Amino acid sequence: MIASKIGLLVMHYGTPASMDEVLPYYTDIRRGRPPSPEALEDLRSRYEAIGGPSPLRAISERQAKLIQEGLATRGINAKLYIGAKHTHPFVSEVVKQMAADGIEQAIGVILAPHYSTFSVAKYTKSAIEARDVANPNMQLEVLQRWGTLPEFIKALSLNLQTAMQGLDQNETLVIFSAHSLPEKILAAGDPYAEELLMTSRLVADDTNVANWVFGFQSASTTGEPWLGPDILDVIEREAPNYKNIVSCTVGFVSDHLEVLYDLGIEARDKCAELGLNFRRAECINDDPLVMDALAGQLAEMLEGAKVGQAV
Ligand code: FEC
């Protein structure tokens, strides 16, 4: 039975709205510890290199709107709330607003397809904790993973095919990638790395890719080991064997800073340095079929079908 006042909670990483907001943003990512002036300058220069603040917020908003429309076509009229992990409005702030608006039943989705204790679990925890304070009676269920959703695989596969057009498969290496995380997550049994590999395998199969590997990207310098191999090391290692590198990130769903800079500039430059041709497959961004499929998952959750993990 679906309650009368339904809320759709769409959660994304967050990005500074202007260059002036880079410092508070970075400080929040560092759990309240301001970055050193050098680290801040480094991040500011990466934003500048992609032309200023990232398009992440705008893309997330378009994605959220499409998910809301997908629910509407299934007869579910849900009020949309968009919350971020590291910028206002934070996930906790919008959940408080949902309670204030009298939302009785809510469904949530994170714009990150793979489960990790470091990402999806943290978004979910913020939402649930805020719900417990604001209105413990508001039902809230969050989709925990969607990295094998057929429409997601197909959209990635089509983008990869476009990027590979005209290239000789035998001379081409596809590198699937995703954000690295501290290596310690493996010891705790985190499924993140496995889920990323599963998505990569499905896309490679759907695209009939001859040669592919997986590499992590965007590791931070926190003084502890992060998951590898790093994509730049993979490029260097494989350079003698190929003419073309095609990058396809499976862990990100928007062409934002980590994609536009770490792949579009850093990985591209590394390839140029090694005499390799570089191409990048676009992220799914606001692909209507993927967003509609996500709406389908959320609709099933609302109907009580066992799709996501209830929390
Ligand atoms: O376009 C934009 O403005 C935002 C791009 C952005 C996305 C993103 C996604 C993920 N992150 C994940 C984990 C970590 C961990 C740390 C960390 C640090 C940063 C920094 C920036 C940044 N992340 Fe990010 N991440 C984005 C941006 N991320 C900027 C800080 C500077 C740097 O290290 O480069 C380390 C925190 C610490 O210092 O303790 C861990 C994961 C994702 C993918 C899932 C998701 O989207 O939530 C995991 C987008």
Tens digits of pLDDT across the chain (311 residues): 555 699 999 999 999 999 999 999 999 999 999 999 999 999 999 999 999 899 999 999 999 999 999 999 999 999 999 999 999 999 999 999 999 999 999 999 999 999 999 999 999 999 999 999 999 999 999 999 999 999 999 999 999 999 999 999 999 999 999 999 999 999 889 999 999 999 999 999 999 999 999 999 999 888 899 999 999 999 999 999 999 999 999 999 999 999 999 999 999 999 999 999 999 999 999 999 999 999 999 999 998 834 344 33
What is the rounded distance in angstroms from the CA atom of residue 310 to the CA atom of residue 99? 19
88-126: burial string, b at 16+ Cβ within 10 Å, e else: eebbbebbbbbbeeebbbbbbbbbbbbbbeebbbebbeb
138 phi-psi bin (left φ>0, alpha ψ -120 to 50, beta other): beta
Predicted structure pTM score: 0.96
Q: Which residues contact 193 (CB under 8 A, 6 or more apart)?
A: 186, 227
Asked whether 112 lines ligand 1 (CB < 6 A), one says yes
**Residue of 111, 123, 179, 265 to mutate, ligand 1, most atoms within 8 A of C-beta:** 179
Per the CB < 8 A criterion, the answer to whether 95 and 83 are in contact is: yes
Q: Which atom of ligand 1 approaches the CA of 15 most closely?
A: 3
Q: How far is the CA of 227 from the centre of ligand 1 (A)?
A: 14
| pLDDT for position 222 | 82
| pLDDT for position 178 | 98
